[in-house]
Amino acid sequence: MEQRRILVAVTGGIAAYKIPELIRILRRAGACVRCAMTPAAQEFVSPLVLQTLTGHPVRTDLFDASQEGEIDHISLADWAELVILAPATANTLAKMSCGLADDLVSAVLLATRAPVLVAPAMNVNMWEHPATRSNMETLRQRGIRAIGPEVGELACGWEGAGRMSQPEAIAAEAGLLLGSRDLAGEVVLVSAGGTREPIDRVRFLGNRSSGKMGFAVAAEAALRGADVVLVAGPTPLATPAGVRRVDVQTALEMRDALLAEFERATITVMAAAVADFRAARPSELKIKKEDLAADSGLTLELTRNPDILAELCARKGDRLVIGFAAESHDLMASAQRKIARKGCDLLVANNISSETSGFDTDDNAVVFVWPDGQVEELPTLPKRDVAAQLLDRVAKARGGDE
């Protein structure tokens, strides 16, 4: 952490009393620490304490001209290489999830492009409330890291999940986040989600891909310092922090968007489930039954879509291109044939026949397949961890670990 710039943003929870200890640990590890506080946080710990421990004036007010003169809130957001929000109250997490910026801390959280680590602390019922659950899910999808809360006796008298993680654990997690900038300088192009191929004005051919795997790769790559472009099929997922997103509908649109970005990309990850076929002649209007003979079925003629991955591989030069393979049976043999056919540098094969991994789940069980026939089987992991494992291999292949 030597000389790394960490902003500790403190909000109003009783666990704020542990923040001086967190700052001491970070400082002992060599980090430069600054603090921002909400008005409520100052009810629990004095700015003077944090100023003394950090060696810097503490920012508390968005509209105080003298504080803005010292370091304005945008400069503070830009200064940070990592923001730790601790304790993170339900209120501030909700504001983050909505993108509100009505005080100094929420404004800095909205403005920063640095990774953010949140350490929630609150009453167990607030933590388990569907609103907080949904806000946390949104934040996770944007690439925000969370640590805790821990289960135990709470200051409010309840028992359950809600205690802020210990300062040592928060500092260790911060160290991990700061340590992994092994993709700085890389331009990572990721495709995610399924495509929709129109049949007529209202109907389309689609597939069950949620986009979660590709979004996890994009979020993780951004955290590791890459410049990330995400080409996404239709999905309600939130754009991860620091990622530029291009939305597309059809395979042909996805191909155009990827080709437009491919020149600049040093690493491309094709996680999208691209439709192999599209309707040969989609109708401009809605197809109506009354236009068909009574009792007749409807025959759709399909035409092949281009194989985008194979096309990118054909022009990849020294770029790294990673493909995915969705297999319902005969996984290893199909994956081996697929990597040879497509010509990519690594294929991530996943078994989509399982209920707990693959399409539209939070977990994935994958096998990494290399062109030389080597395979590496991973256990079932959350998609975020699969993304981290994949990018470990990618960074190594790009020489980022040297």
How far apart are CB 221 and ligand CTP at their closest, in Å? Answer: 16
User: Could you tell me which of 24, 31, 30 has the C-alpha nearest to residue 6?
Assistant: 31
Give me the torsion for CA of 366, 368, 369, 375, rounded to 10°: -100
Contact indicator for 58, 47 with CB cutoff of 8 Å: yes
Residue 178 or 322 having the CB closest to ligand CTP:
322
Distance CA 230, CA 215 (A): 8
Are 250 and 206 spatial neighbours (Cβ–Cβ below 8 Å)? no
Q: Is 156 in the active site?
A: yes
Asked whether position 272 contacts ligand CTP by CB under 6 A, the answer is yes
Q: Which of the ranges 70-78, 79-87, 103-111, 306-314 carries the binding residues for ligand CTP, by CB under 6 A? A: 306-314
Candidate ranges 53-61, 149-157, 235-243, 305-313; the one touching ligand CTP (CB under 6 A)? 305-313
DSSP string, 116-145: EEEEE---HHHHHSHHHHHHHHHHHHTT-E
Of 16-24, 43-51, 117-125, 307-315: span binding ligand CTP (CB under 6 A): 307-315
217 is an interface residue for ligand CTP by CB under 6 A: no
200 binds ligand CTP per the rule CB under 6 A: no
Interface residue with ligand CTP among 67, 123, 210, 305 (CB under 6 A) is: 305
| Token pair of 349 as six digits | 């094969």
Q: Does 324 bind ligand CTP (CB under 6 A)?
A: yes
x/- contact string, 329-368, with ligand CTP (CB under 6 A)?
Answer: ----------------------------------------
**Checking DSSP bridges between strand 227-232 and strand 243-247, what pairing results, if any?**
parallel
Helix residue ranges per DSSP H, 166-301:
167-179, 212-223, 251-262
* Burial (CB count within 10 angstroms: exposed 0-12, middle 13-18, buried 19+), residue 392: middle
214 binds ligand CTP (CB under 6 A): no
Nearer to ligand CTP by Cβ, of 140 and 255: the residue is 255
Residues 215 and 192: their CA atoms lie apart, in Å, by 6
Candidates 132-140, 174-182, 213-221, 324-332 — which segment interacts with ligand CTP by CB under 6 A? 324-332
For the CB of residue 278, give the shortest distance to ligand CTP in the complex, in Å.
Answer: 10
Check binding of 270 to ligand CTP (CB under 6 A).
Answer: yes
Q: Which of 222, 274, 339, 367 binds ligand CTP (CB under 6 A)?
A: 274
Only one of the segments 268-276, 353-361, 377-385, 390-398 lies at the binding site for ligand CTP (rule: CB under 6 A); that segment is: 268-276
Residue 341 main-chain phi, psi, to 5 deg = -70, -40
Q: Does 323 bind ligand CTP (CB under 6 A)?
A: yes
Query: How many other CB atoms are there within 10 angstroms of residue 236's CB atom?
Result: 7
Active-site entry in 35, 156, 313, 344: 156
Strands 32-37, 5-10: pairing is parallel
Q: Which residues bind ligand CTP (CB under 6 A)?
A: 251, 270, 272, 274, 276, 305, 307-309, 323-326
Catalytic residues: 156
